[in-house]
Amino acid sequence: MFDADLARRAIKEIENNPERWKQRNWFCQTGQCFAGFVAELSGADFTPVEEERRFFQDSTPTPYIINPDTGYGQHVADYAAHQLGFEDYDHNFFDGHTTDADRLFNENNTVEDLHRLVDEIAERQ
């Protein structure tokens, strides 16, 4: 079941902190996309870049958080999608159709788009 309340709280945080919102930026240390705000409101810890690189053995910083339920690293989009109620979402898997989570996390979304999408998804529930 879609958690429209959480989505709306994330949008409110974006509206109250526009300088922190970077929808096209998946590096949550410097700014957050919609998924990052959802994750933050859900209790996720953002992994420092150095720890992130060591934990994932990668030279490029990526948008991972520490899942407060498991203590393990998880991609911010996967964590946020699950918190919003999209249990089957996996940012690494694309089967040819766009999901509601994909639409919410789209890098081109404006705040108005987010309001409209949340309302559309909530209405279908």
Whether 8 contacts 41, CB under 8 Å: no
CB half-sphere exposure, 82, CA atoms < 13 A: 14
Whether 37 contacts 76, CB under 8 Å: no
pTM of the model: 0.83
74, two tokens:
């998880």
pLDDT tens, position by position, 107-118: 899 999 999 999
pLDDT tens, position by position, 53-108: 555 555 555 677 878 888 877 888 899 999 999 988 877 676 777 899 999 999 89
Is residue 53 classed as helix, strand or coil in its secondary structure?
helix
Nearest to 48 by CA among 65, 70, 36: 65
